[in-house]
Amino acid sequence: MNDGRIDNDGPIDKVIGIIGLGYVGLPLALAAAAAGYRVVGFDVDAGKVESLRAGRSYIKHIGEADLRAATAAGRLDATTDFAALRTVDAIIICVPTPLTAHRAPDLTYVIRTTEAIVPHLRRGHLVVLESTTWPGTTEEVMKPILERTGLKSGEDFFLAYSPEREDPGNPAFTTRSIPKVVGGDGPVALARADALYGAIVAGTVKVSSTRTAEAVKLTENIFRAVNIALVNELKVVYERMGVDIWEVIEAAKTKPFGYMPFYPGPGLGGHCIPIDPFYLTWKAREFETSTRFIELAGEINTAMPHYVVERLARALDAATGRGLNGATILLLGLAYKKNVDDVRESPAFKLIELLEHRGARVDFHDPHVAAIPPMREYPHYQGRPRVALTGAAIASFDAVLIATDHDDVDYKLVADNARLVIDTRNACARAGLTAPHIVKA
Of the listed 85, 93, 201, 272, which one is catalytic?
A: 272
Letter for the amino acid at 60? K
Pair 203, 165: CB distance under 8 Å: no
State the Cα–Cα distance between residues 324 and 356, nearest whole angstrom: 9
How far is it, in rounded angstroms, from Cα 436 to Cα 53?
53
Between CA 24 and CA 61 the distance in angstroms is: 12
Asked if residues 273 and 225 have their Cβ atoms less than 8 Å apart, the reply is yes
Rg of the Cα atoms in the chain: 24
Measured in whole angstroms, the distance separating CA 100 from the mean position of its chain's CA atoms is: 17
Q: 248: exposed, middle or buried (C-beta count within 10 Å: 0-12, 13-18, 19+)? A: middle
Alpha-carbon distance 82 to 172, whole Å? 35
**What is the three-class DSSP state of 192?**
helix
Residue 272 is among the residues annotated as catalytic for this protein: yes
Q: What span, in angstroms and rounded, lies between the C-alpha atoms of 134 and 281? A: 9
Mapped onto helix, strand or coil, the DSSP state of residue 279 is helix
Can you tell me the distance from the alpha carbon of 211 to that of 109, in angstroms, rounded to the nearest whole number?
19
Q: In what order do the strands lie in the sheet with 361-365?
A: 361-365, 328-332, 399-402, 421-423, 438-440
Eight-class DSSP state of 99: B
Q: How many other CB atoms are found less than 10 A from the CB of residue 264? A: 27
Contact 308, 264 (CB under 8 A): no
Amino acid at 387: V
Q: How many CB atoms lie within 10 A of CB 370?
A: 10
The rounded distance, in Å, linking the Cα atoms of 368 and 342 is 9
Cα gap 336→346, rounded to integer Å = 4
Degrees (nearest 5) of the Cα angle 23, 26, 28?
A: 105
Overall size of the chain counted in residues:
441
| Contact yes or no for 175/31 (Cβ under 8 A) | yes
List, by residue number, the catalytic residues: 272
